[in-house]
Amino acid sequence: YYNTPINKILMYDVLPYVGDGRNSAFSNTLQGPIELKIGSTDVSSQYDIYYRTDEHPAQNDINEINSPEWTKTPADYTKVTAIKIVGKDGTILPPYTVLSAVLTMKAPLYDPNLSEALAYNDMSVIYNNEAAMRRTEKVANQLVDIMDVKVEKKWLDADGNAIAQPDATSITVKLLADGVDTGKTLDLTAANNWTASFTHLRKYTVETDNDGTVTKTPIVYTLEEVGTDANGMVTYNGKKYKVTATSGQADENSPNDSVALSVTNQLQQEKVSVSGKKLWDDSNDNDGKRPASIVVRLLADGVEVQHKTVTAADNWEYTFSDLPKFNGNAEITYTVSEDAVPDYTTSINGYEITNQHAPEALSIPVKKVWVDDENAQGLRPASVHVRLYADGTQVDEFDLNAGNNWSHIFNGLPRYTAGHEIEYTVKEDPIAHYTTSYSGSSATELTVTNTIEGKVSVPVTKKWIGAPADSVTIHLLADGVEVQSATLTAADNWQHTFSNLNQYNNGALINYTITEDAVDGYTSQITGDATNYVVTNTNMKTRDIPVTKVWENQEGDSAEIVLYRDGVEVDRVTITKADDWKHTFSNLEFYDKTDGHEYAYTISETPISGYTTQITGNQDDGFTVTNTAPVVPPTTPPTTPEPKKPGLPYTGDASGIASIVGAAALSLSGLGIALRRKNS
């Protein structure tokens, strides 16, 4: 054992002998080959193990390890006087690892002079190519005086007589030395004749005082039975036994001593009582034959030991007291009998005596009722099995079917038992798809009703055409009567399942339908069935689109406006001055009812000759259609040159001036017309 790996291990050991220089008082003899172990693992194969058989090799380690006397295979291991252990090439002992050399040795025969004597052993070790050998600590072996404790188990009955067949099949005793538990136990059984021995026990405790004086004190051994309570009692097979155990010590004058101890179990007698009751099964003495008293006799193992007269004043009850429980080791069996009672039959159950007189016979009819809409689902079995019970105990059974009209009569049934009227009931073996209920009474008729059963789920999915609302409320109706409701939202993906619903009502298949609370601005359509309802809500929002007509330069007579929805013409209208050149397309659908998308509305104008068209605006704010006519410049009439006339006088010709003025006025007049049109 070292804190670093070591190799090149060599160990040398001279076995102890008297005079070996280690104060050994005796020699041990080797019994077989040495084993080398690390923990529980055998590592002997990693080492070469040598033996010497010559007498007492010297303690000179270095000289002796190279002696030619070493052998790996001694002829007689008991002659070995020294051992040598050499690690093979490559053998390394890891750090903090214990290498154990196991030597099986035999101590010398008993010698009173060697009592408590010691023999010492140590070993020389060299490793890691060191020059000097190290010595291990001494290991001392001590010879001790030993002895055996013989144990006998005794069984006695309450009278102190030996019991041939005890109640226990085995017991366990433990051994105490000077009152201290040794941890040793023995199992005593009939197979080992209730005897066994504790062996190889120390005879003495040894103390050495300061003067070296050795004092040996005999050890007192005591037995204790496992399971003994604080009162010294054990219980086997319901019987209590008093436990008495002996103690003893070694005989100092005997070299191979043994002491005989015993554990005695004596049965403890107990007292018991026998109580019973008389029951009358005679319809409350309807016939007046019940006697005023009866005689009950007590038997112990079949032999009468006492008797009593029992009357109504005793409430027909009796007790036999202060009875011995055991006869020897055997528990006494107490029974009772009754003197015969005229006109009655007697039955005895334990200590309960029943007298029965002429029971009345009953007939009990049983019928089957089906609640399954005349087997509309085809689930009714071909037959059912019913069982008749009397006070909960089955007494008869029968198969009901269509052939016997689903009915039967149980006949010849007693009306009373043990002094009370029997309650008759029926039970039916379970039937798939049906529940069972019972009604009626055994006095009239017992009815077994089977009602068809089943569970279903009704899933509902909400679909929206157009923008959805925040939530909707769905109502579930069973045959037209509301039974549940649920609120659907986007959080639950607009879905809900009504679960664990009864499939039938009084045997008829339930028709599950749904309704929806109205949603303002939406229409609702329910499709599908109870296997998958779909509720479609269509957004009915509409829009109005105003159109204004504007003329530039010159006003026309009318304009035709065309309305388009998603590029497809849906309306057209003619606007005139009488409409103040305005029109509104009203109540236009906001969403497509097939896929729910918002419609795109646009307009166009039928072309007007001589005008250009410009459309502005949108479907939300309205459209403006502007028509512009081209500007016509004023027209000046052509001037016709006059023929030359004779020259005028310088002062001017009045008619000529008038012509010029008239032409100017005409030009101005034309300009005025043009201006009026433009302003208009």
Report which of residues 468 and 137 the model is more confident about: 468
Distance CA 581, CA 585 (A): 14
Greatest mean pLDDT range, 234-243, 252-261, 332-341: 332-341
pLDDT number for residue 1: 64
Q: Which of 451, 457, 450, 438 is nearest to 504 (CA)?
A: 451
> Could you tell me the two tokens for 642?
């006059």
3 state DSSP class of 427: strand
**Stretch 336-362: mean pLDDT, rounded?**
90
3 state DSSP class of 151: strand
Q: Give me the CATH topology for the region 361-452.
A: Immunoglobulin-like (2.60.40)
pLDDT number for residue 419: 59
pLDDT number for residue 657: 33
> Could you tell me the two tokens for 434?
């049906």
Is 176's pLDDT higher than 80?
yes
Q: Which of 159, 140, 168, 160 is nearest to 228 (CA)?
A: 168
Bridge partners of residue 153, in order along the sequence = 263
Q: Give me the CATH topology for the region 146-267.
A: Immunoglobulin-like (2.60.40)
Q: Are 614 and 628 in contact (CB under 8 A)?
A: yes
3 state DSSP class of 622: strand
> Could you tell me the two tokens for 340?
């015969």
Pick the CATH number of 542-628 from 3.40.50.720, 1.20.210.10, 3.50.50.60, 2.60.40.1140: 2.60.40.1140
How would CATH label the architecture of 455-539? Sandwich (2.60)
Q: Within 13 Å, how many C-alpha atoms sit on residue 394's CB side?
A: 9
pLDDT tens digits for range 634-659: 766 666 666 655 444 333 343 333 33
| Pairing status of strand 508-509 against strand 271-281 | unpaired
pLDDT number for residue 278: 93
Report which of residues 250 and 477 the model is more confident about: 477
pLDDT tens digits for range 569-580: 999 999 999 999
Domain positions in the chain are 6-142, 146-267, 271-356, 361-452, 455-539, 542-628, 653-680
- To the nearest whole number, what is the mean pLDDT of the chain? 86
**Stretch 114-140: mean pLDDT, rounded?**
80
- The DSSP 8-state label assigned to residue 129 in this structure reads T
Distance set, CA 581 to CA 27, 560, 563 (Å): 142, 11, 16
> pTM (2 decimals)?
0.36
Q: Give me the CATH topology for the region 6-142.
A: Immunoglobulin-like (2.60.40)
Neighbours of 652 (CB within 10 A): 9
Distance CA 223, CA 253 (A): 23
Query: Picking from 131-145, 431-445, 577-591, 599-613, which range would have the lowest pLDDT averaged per residue?
Result: 131-145
Q: Could you give the percent of the chain with pLDDT greater than 90?
A: 56
Q: Which of 173, 208, 204 is nearest to 188 (CA)?
A: 173
3 state DSSP class of 658: helix
Place domain 271-356 in its CATH homologous superfamily: Collagen-binding surface protein Cna, B-type domain (2.60.40.1140)
- Say yes or no: do domains 146-267 and 271-356 share a fold: yes
pLDDT tens digits for range 189-220: 999 999 999 998 888 887 766 665 667 788 99
Q: What angle do CA 285, 288, 293 make, to 5 degrees?
A: 80
